[in-house]
Amino acid sequence: MANPKKQKMSRRKFLGISSCALTTAVVGSQVKVLKALAKSGDISEPVAAITKDVYTSCGMCVNKCGVIARVRDGVIHKLDPNPNFFPKSRGMLCARGNAGTKVVYDPDRLKYPLIRVGERGEGKWRRASWEEALDMVTNNMNQIAEKYNRASMMFASTEGTFSEHFFLQLAECYGTPNTLRHPTLCLSSNIQGFSATFGTNPTPDVKNADYIIMSGANRAEALMTPDSIDMIKTDGGGRRKLVYLDPRFTKTAAKADEWYPIKPGTDMAFILALINVIITEGLYDDDFIEENTVGFEQLAQHIKQYSPGWAATECDIPAKDIRRIAHEFANAAPSAVYYQGRRSSFFQNDTQMRRAMAILNAIVGAWDTKGGLLPNKKIALTKHDYLAPWYDDVPDRLDKGGVTYLSEKDGSWPVFRDRALAADPYPIKGMMVYKQNVLVSVPDRAKSLELMKQMDFICTIDITMSDTAWYSDVVLPEATYLERLDPPENLSGPVPVVAFRQPCVEAMFESKTNFWIMQQLAKRLGPEIAETFDFTMEEHIHHMLKKKPEIYDALFGKGVYYEDTEPEYGRLKGKRLRTRSGKIELYSEKYAKKGLDPLPVYKSPDKVPTNMYRLLVGRHAYFTHGTTANNALLHDLMPENTLWLAPSEARKLRLKNGQMVKVKSKVGEEKLKLEITEKIRPDSVYMAHGFGVLSKGLSNIAGVGGSDAALIESKYCPISGNCAMHETFVQITPA
Amino acid sequence: MLNLAERKKTYQIFSDLFRYPDQPSQAASAQSVADLSQLLHLDFPPELSQVPALREMEVAYTHLFVNSLGGTPAPPYGSVYLDAGNLLMGETSLKVEACYAAENLNLQGSDEPPDFLATELEFLYYLLDEEEAALAAGDTARQAELTNKQIVFFENYLSSWLPDFCERIAARSSDPFYLWIAEALQLFNRMEMALFEKVRKNSISELPTTS
């Protein structure tokens, strides 16, 4: 946790291993021509072009696949998958991974520190030296601490960089509790719902399950990673079956054995009805429940109200199908899994919906067994301990108490932003951003712009001119993932691995690693903070691996370290889980004590108002969130987003395929092209995420498509703080 | 037609003008504009009788060549125009670097890719400087060799992308300073092309050394 009031226990000790940095000798005297070119005094030394293959990890999405960079003549010629065992990438690299070279060699990439000259968002910048830019950042941080409070600085960051912890360390050492990470735009309700049941957020063993149900988890597009292929392949309806629920006919729907265009927001009704059938017909795993769970009696009572007939009217899925699916699921169990997906920011009841999923998996014994939910394993690495300075007057997180279970490091974006806008209970006046594209990722962009407007100072560290960078005062260029030595990353899962990144080529222009930037800021913030960053990356890596030095050789020798190649089933059998009771909690005493429903209680979603549509948003295979749409190689595959609308509705509205339409919600209005398609329910419309950017610094996508963040209202799950991104209604009119 | 010394000076001026402006280059730019105007017989607009303040130049340069409105309007790198894929560090960037290396030149003074416009112009300045030395030493073989190198480099790695580059500046900028510089560069490019064409046709045996 990140409470700056607490002091860390021990200071980190280094092993004193010397740096591995390569050095180059300059022979002879140098005579400059004008500025860039210089003539070496020694003409006998030919310069060898660097040609090498470099193991590293992909940084194009969150999956961190194993990569070999083929460096030819000092340039990354192409990226290949690492054929060594790597369970997440299994010898493959997707389109996004292949497009990684473009990240390094993009003429639009950030090249030098930039300082805003005109008004925010006006687009007037000048180059600055690192020294000037860094001084400006820390001067502003110090001013904000002096004028308001250290907690008045917020630090927003994103996952997957392998360097985020340095950014969070700087926040903690500077003295603010207000870090905003990505989970409440993503999976925090998943984590909460499953952890409340199992004490952890397990990984479904989809690869080995005989029967899989996915609802809204569009694995074949939204997280189309090499291992996704294992998850969605079926054998034509024989032993293995995939049932898929989604208001849209997605690529996952195309790969499924059965697809049901479920009414949005009613997944919980479907799940409760499955539980109802399984319990009332005695299809559950009696022994497993007896041995491993608490609260079955309460569940059995509670579930009576949720019959398949009732659910059919809620979900638009026939009762006979619900019943049959319940039978098939229970018959296949424990090799059956209700896959919880990754992004779970759908509805305000999301945590309870995920609880229902967890409970369904539990009552058929699909836990810690082949084809069921698997508790994650981790390969232990040594943490970097540091002594954060003590500040007496730092208040609690701004969003504390805003939701029932707030993660102290992650915060809750919608709650935090509302309080920051109201300066309640204290003002937020400074913003440090590390690669989180707030204006594209956080729903209700108008509010985010308001938030940015009220800042005395904004600094963004990124590799491209994101919308958020565009509205900043100082922009610092980070070296891309193919130019950095990053610390080892422990990728937990049923088969955990350790991955890492090493520089394939030198960082271009004046871009620097996040670690270097943090060190430089720390130095300027004072010796106490500087001391917590007083090590080299090589020392840091050796420190992390000190208990298992063999990992070092494995990483540099084959790009990956692992101990198992198959999941260990039954690992927690007989062991106490990290819940209050130590068992799987069907009935949550913890929730009851907090005044929450101890068992999932269904509430129908709000009805779609007349002449309006429910806005659905989603990710897809080409782009990762809002970060890669400007990549020309990927942009070629999907140059803009469209608004999906069912043909029957298009006829009613007299709209034609391909025409521009206005999409209006309570909080915003966007224009984009209409796509009339049977692939969506008539009560809903859909648009892909990542378009409609404000920043004109992204030449491929500026002014193209519409922004979902501009339209989505900032509703959220009151238990986890996760955004509820499917609770916005919109009107469609010709543009 | 410009003589050797004039061409050398012109390359030097353009190289300076296409680097990120700093205090000395801003101070020198009034003279640069006057010199270019005289060398190329190109009038400059009255507003350029006073060159912009450094801050204005910085903003305009960042907007056009670094990161800015509408995406970097005119990336000053050859590979963006010459190689497929709108990429930095393409095949031609490496070939350009090889040209420098063949002259025993390195890029110690730059964080830019080798085919950064200012550096390419600097390289041509260097070749002309060497030619001037060869001329002074009466080494005609070396002089011819350097003429040939200029032609090869200019035609393969610079001349063909300059029109597109300059048009992008014209299309996306309203800054009179860089608009005029781009116009001047276009003109100089055409003059160099014409000159090299003459050399190729042997209508002149060597490049003019005096006016």
Best of A102, A116, A127, A474 to mutate (most B CBs within 10 Å, chain B): A127
pTM for the complete prediction?
0.92
A-chain residues within 8 Å CB-CB of B83? none
Contact call for B71 and A696, based on CB within 8 A: yes
A-chain residues within 8 Å CB-CB of B72? 107-108, 697, 699
Least confident of A262-271, A543-552, B9-18, B63-72: B63-72
Apex CA A620: angle with CA A614 and CA A623, to 5°?
Answer: 125
Output the average pLDDT for chain A. Answer: 90
Residue A706 structure tokens: 């519409």
Pick from A39, A697, A702: CB nearest B104: A39
Contacts with B, A 623-652, CB within 8 Å = 632-633
**Separation of first and last alpha carbons in chain B:** 7
Residue with tokens 């922009």: A475
Pick from A33, A111, A508: CB nearest B67: A111
Assign A28 a pLDDT band (cuts: 50, 70, 90). low
Assign A41 a pLDDT band (cuts: 50, 70, 90). low
pLDDT, mean of residues A485-497: 93
Contact call for B110 and A36, based on CB within 8 A: yes
Contact call for B62 and A75, based on CB within 8 A: no
Return the SS3 of A52. strand
Contact call for B105 and A702, based on CB within 8 A: no
Q: Min CA distance, A372 vs chain B (Å)?
A: 45
Cβ contact A34:B125 at 8 Å: yes
Q: Kindly tell me if the per-residue pLDDT of A237 is higher than 60.
A: no
Which pLDDT belongs to residue B54?
Answer: 94
A-chain residues within 8 Å CB-CB of B100? 37
Closest by CA to A644, choosing from A610, A614, A608, A611, is: A614
Cβ contact B191:B40 at 8 Å: yes
Q: Min CA distance, A36 vs chain B (Å)?
A: 4
Q: Min CA distance, B202 vs chain A (Å)?
A: 31
Give the number of other Cβ atoms within 10 Å of residue A272's Cβ. 26
Contacts with B, A 490-519, CB within 8 Å = 508-510
Contact call for B105 and A127, based on CB within 8 A: no
Strands (E), A530-668: 561-562, 584-585, 613-618, 642-645, 660-664
Q: Min CA distance, A50 vs chain B (Å)?
A: 12
Which pLDDT belongs to residue B8?
Answer: 97
Closest by CA to A178, choosing from A456, A461, A433, is: A433
Least confident of A135-144, A266-275, A453-462, B195-204: B195-204
Which pLDDT belongs to residue A229?
Answer: 80
A-chain residues within 8 Å CB-CB of B109? 32, 35-38
Residue with tokens 């922004």: A707
Cβ contact A347:A727 at 8 Å: yes
Which pLDDT belongs to residue A657?
Answer: 97
Closest Cα in chain A to B75: A107
What is the Cα–Cα distance from A7 to A551, expressed in whole angstroms?
Answer: 30
Contact call for A117 and B58, based on CB within 8 A: yes
A-chain residues within 8 Å CB-CB of B54? none
Kindly list the structural domains of chain A, giving each domain's residue range(s) and its CATH number in brackets, ordered by start. Answer: 114-181+380-562 (3.40.50.740), 203-374 (3.40.228.10), 613-734 (2.40.40.20)
Tell me whether A111 touches chain B (CB under 8 Å).
yes
Least confident of A136-140, A546-550, B27-31, B131-135: B27-31
B-chain residues within 8 Å CB-CB of A108? 67, 71-72
pLDDT in tens, A241-255: 999 999 999 999 998
ipTM of the complex: 0.92
Q: Min CA distance, B189 vs chain A (Å)?
A: 21
Print burial letters for A142-154: b (CB count within 10 Å at least 16), e (below 16). eebbeebbbbbbb
> The sheet that has A125-127: what strands, in order across it?
A125-127, A114-116, A474-477, A457-462, A430-434, A153-157, A179-180
Phi-psi region for residue A582, left (φ > 0), alpha (ψ -120 to 50) or beta? left
Q: Kindly tell me if the per-residue pLDDT of A87 is higher than 90.
A: no
pLDDT, mean of residues A641-666: 96
Contact call for A633 and B85, based on CB within 8 A: yes
Which pLDDT belongs to residue A289?
Answer: 98
Residues in chain B: 211
Give me the numbers of helices (H) and strands (E) for chain B, helices first please.
9, 1
Cβ contact A406:A397 at 8 Å: yes
Q: Min CA distance, A476 vs chain B (Å)?
A: 12
Pick from A34, A102, A127: CB nearest B87: A102
Assign A33 a pLDDT band (cuts: 50, 70, 90). very high
pLDDT in tens, A501-524: 999 999 999 999 999 999 999 999
Contact call for A38 and B126, based on CB within 8 A: no
Pick from A33, A633, A702: CB nearest B125: A33
Which pLDDT belongs to residue A29?
Answer: 65
Give me the phi and psi of A67, to 5 degrees please: -135, 145
* CATH fold label, B4-200: TorD-like (1.10.3480)
Least confident of A505-509, A583-587, A622-626, A719-723: A622-626
Which pLDDT belongs to residue A24?
Answer: 33
pLDDT, mean of residues A543-570: 95
Contact call for A107 and B89, based on CB within 8 A: no
What is the Cα–Cα distance from B89 to A73, expressed in whole angstroms?
Answer: 10
Pick from B71, B103, B126: CB nearest A108: B71
pLDDT, mean of residues A54-78: 93
The alpha carbon dihedral of A706, A710, A713, A715 has a sign of positive
Q: Kindly tell me if the per-residue pLDDT of A698 is higher than 70.
A: no
Pick from B66, B75, B126: CB nearest A37: B126
Residue ranges per domain, chain B?
4-200
Cβ contact B25:B16 at 8 Å: yes
Cβ contact A128:A89 at 8 Å: no
A234 Cβ contact partners less than 8 Å away, ≥ 6 residues apart: A240, A241, A242, A255, A256, A257
Which pLDDT belongs to residue A11?
Answer: 31
**DSSP at A178:** -
Contacts with B, A 127-166, CB within 8 Å = 127
Tell me whether A32 touches chain B (CB under 8 Å).
yes
Give the number of other Cβ atoms within 10 Å of residue A666's Cβ. 11
Pick from A37, A114, A123: CB nearest B69: A123
Size of interface A-B (CB pairs under 8 A): 143
pLDDT, mean of residues A639-666: 95
Decide which of A47 and A234 is more confident. A234
B-chain residues within 8 Å CB-CB of A694? none
Tell me whether A394 touches chain B (CB under 8 Å).
no
pLDDT in tens, A578-590: 999 999 999 999 9
Closest Cα in chain A to B105: A39
